[in-house]
Amino acid sequence: MARIPTLSAVRGRLKTAGVLASALVLAASLTACGGGGESATPAAQNSAGSAVDANAFPTTIEHKYGSTTITQEPKRVVTVGLTEQDALLALGVVPVGVTEWLGKYPGTIGPWATDKLGGAALPEVLKDVDGPQYEKIAALKPDLIIALYSGLTKEQYDKLSQIGVPVVAQPKEYNDYGIPWNEATKKVGQAVGRATKANELVKAVEDKFAQARKEHPEFAGKSALMASTYEGYFVYGSQDGRSHILESLGFKLPADLDAVIGDKFGKSLSAERTDLLDRDALVWLIDTPAKAQEILGKDALYTGLKVAKEKREVFIENEGNYGSAVSFVTVLSLPYVIDRIVPQLSAAVDGDPKTEVKPAS
C-alpha cells in the first residue's frame, strides 16, 4: 500500500475528554518540575550536534492556529508530525519521542538517518490512532512539541498546549501534510536555535538536485507524476513531497492536477480521469511488481495509454528502504532517493521503449 498518512492521522478526534484533561494537568505539572536540567541533555544532542545560533531565542513561529514563541533552547523535543525527526537528527538533536508512520524501523528512524543518532538512545515511538497520545507525550516531559508535517486539528492543538510547553503546528499556507521538506527543515532549525545549520543542510540538498538537473537536461519541461495503486489509482498533488521530488529534478506536473485533487495531498482518480496518468514519466509506488502487473496489466484504459505502451514507468516497491525514503521526503532521505531515482527517470524518458528501467536497491 502507498505510504499515505492514515485517515486517523488526518482526522483524529479526541475521546474521553474529561479524564484526559485531568491527566494532562497532572503530567504538565510533572513536566514543570522535571523538564530541562542535565538529565535531559544526553537524549537531546548527538555527538555531531551543531551549536545554537547567537541570539536564537526568543523566537516566534507562525502556524495554522496562531503563533508559538520559544524562549530558550529546547532539550526534550517530541514530534507529532510524521517526518520531523530527520531534520532534528540532521541538526544534531535527537528527539525523545516520535510519531510512527512507516512502522518498520526501530525508533522510527530510517536507515538514511541512523548514523545521525551518534550513539544516543532511540526515541520513544508514539502512535496516532485517534489523535496524539497526550498522556504519553506529557510523560516524556517535553519542552517543545513539533507538528509541522501533520494534520493536527485545532482541538488537538489546544489539548497539546495544555501540557504547558510550546507547540508548533503545521503552517497555514500549505495543505495538511503539505509543508515542503526545505521549509520543514528551516522551521525545525528555527525552533531549536540552529537556523544557520538548517540553511546549510537545505542548500546541500538543493545543490544535489541542481547537479542532477545539469547532468540530465532531458528532464527539463517533461511531464511527470507520482501515483500508487492504493484504492485504485491514487495520485499525489503539487503540495505533496513526492511531487516536489519530480519538480526539483526539472519535471512539470500535469497542469490540471490540483483541479482534480482539490486541497488534499492526493486523491484516487475516477476511471474518467485515467488520462492524467499519461505522462512522459510515471512513477508508481507499488506493493510488488507482480501485484502491480495484476492491477495495471488487466486495465485496458491504462494499458492503452502511451506511458504504458512506451514503458515510461518507474516502479518502486513500498516495503523497501528506497520506497520508504521516497515517501518520507526529508533533508536526510532525499540524497538517498536522488541517487536511485535519477537513473530510472533517465531511462524512462529516453524515447526508446526497449530501454529497461532497472529496479534500484
Reported as a single tens digit per residue, the pLDDT across 137-185 is 999 999 999 999 999 999 999 999 999 999 999 999 999 999 999 999 9
Taking the C-alpha atoms of residue 237 and residue 167, their distance in angstroms, rounded to an integer, is 27
* Alpha-carbon distance values, 293 to 184, 263, 297 (Å): 36, 31, 5
Answer with the one of 194, 224, 250 that is the final residue of a domain: 194
Cβ proximity of 151 and 5 under 8 Å: yes
Residue 35 inside a domain? The answer is no
pLDDT at 13: 34
Average pLDDT in the 102-127 region?
96
In degrees, to the nearest 5, what angle opens at C-alpha 194 toward C-alphas 104 and 340?
40
Residue 77 inside a domain? The answer is yes
pTM: 0.88
Average pLDDT in the 320-335 region?
97
Mean pLDDT of all residues belonging to the chain: 89
356: pLDDT strictly greater than 50: yes
Instruction: Provide the 10 A C-beta neighbour count for residue 246.
Output: 23
Average pLDDT in the 293-304 region?
94
Give me the residue label for grid cell 520513544. 124
Residue 16 inside a domain? The answer is no
Cβ proximity of 252 and 238 under 8 Å: no
Residues 92 and 175 in one domain: yes
Average pLDDT in the 79-101 region?
98
pLDDT band at 357 (very low <50, low <70, confident <90, very high): very high
Average pLDDT in the 252-281 region?
93
Please state at what angle helix 241-248 crosses helix 333-348, rounded to 10 degrees: 60
Residue 200 inside a domain? The answer is no
pLDDT at 46: 65
List the one residue out of 152, 159, 160, 179 whose CA is nearest residue 8.
Answer: 152
pLDDT at 47: 56
Cβ proximity of 184 and 87 under 8 Å: yes
Check which CATH number belongs to the domain holding 305 and give it.
Answer: 3.40.50.1980
Q: Give the chain's domain count.
A: 2
Residue 167 inside a domain? The answer is yes
> What's the domain range around 341?
216-349
